[in-house]
Amino acid sequence: MKDLFLDIEALGRKPGSAIIQLGAIVFDPDTGATAEEFHRYINPNPDLFTSDLGTLAWHAEQGTWPHPPGLEITDEAAAFCEFVEWFGTLAHAGHVIEDAWSWGITYDFGLLAPYFEHYTGGAPWRYRQVTDARSFWKRAFPGIKHKDRPHHALEDCRDGIKDLVSALRELTAGRDLARDLERWEHECGESTDIVPPENGRKLWPIIARAKDIAFSPAGEEVAP
């Protein structure tokens, strides 16, 4: 698998804010399949990083800060060194990371940057690998908000991957339809005379009725 999805929980909304959770999952953006995971509940260092009252109050309402009893908590320095070490093992496991994703380009990566700089000398990925999943969602589903998330770093990664894969499939639907129509013409020996739009999967029911053939939502032939 070739990509990484990251999520954090923090006590503020700008760089320098204390991070209290870090989660990451290796995944395949084409299929949504997942592999190795990383997650830590973090005990932040108040001498290095800060919080704001509004975010503290929000976390108190959610029950996510202070950390609930019974959780395994990792010191801030150890958590980030362990993450970089874990990231370094991915290539040996066959996962050469091409892109590092988060939901939004400024929050997660922006808040993580000073931590990596302080504890490990820099982020383990290159600047060109940083990629924003929200932009793909907005382009695929304009005006539609994704479902609420639990604000748990690892679970938010899972939901983010599902939403990203849905968006990528929506955006590539026209390309896939063009491929399937070409196969259709080859197998049936007749022309469709249809130019697929960007979101071409939405035309499948219309095409199926016109051809007197039933298709599943994924575009596979089924019994009429």
Question: pLDDT tens, 102-140?
Answer: 999 999 999 999 999 999 999 999 999 999 999 999 999
C-alpha to C-alpha distance for 185 and 65, rounded to whole angstroms: 59
C-alpha to C-alpha distance for 139 and 199, rounded to whole angstroms: 11
Q: Give 21-57 pLDDT, tens digit per residue.
A: 999 999 999 999 999 999 999 999 999 999 999 999 9
Instruction: Kindly list the domain boundaries of the chain, sorted by start residue.
Output: 3-171, 173-211
Q: Give 139-184 pLDDT, tens digit per residue.
A: 999 999 999 999 999 999 999 999 999 999 999 885 665 566 666 6
* pLDDT higher at 224 or 186: 186
Q: What is the pLDDT of residue 97?
A: 96
CATH match of 3-171 with 3.30.420.10: yes
Q: What is the pLDDT of residue 173?
A: 80
> Six-digit token pair at 72?
């395994």
Query: pLDDT at residue 61 above 90?
Result: yes
39 CB-near residues (< 8 Å, 6+ apart): 21, 22, 23, 24, 153, 154
Length of the chain: 224
C-alpha to C-alpha distance for 215 and 224, rounded to whole angstroms: 8
The β-bridge partners of 9 are 21
Q: What is the pLDDT of residue 188?
A: 64
Q: Give 175-215 pLDDT, tens digit per residue.
A: 665 566 666 666 666 555 544 444 444 444 444 443 344 34
Asked if 153 and 23 count as a contact pair (C-beta separation under 8 A), the reply is yes
Residue 46 CB-half CA count within 13 A: 2
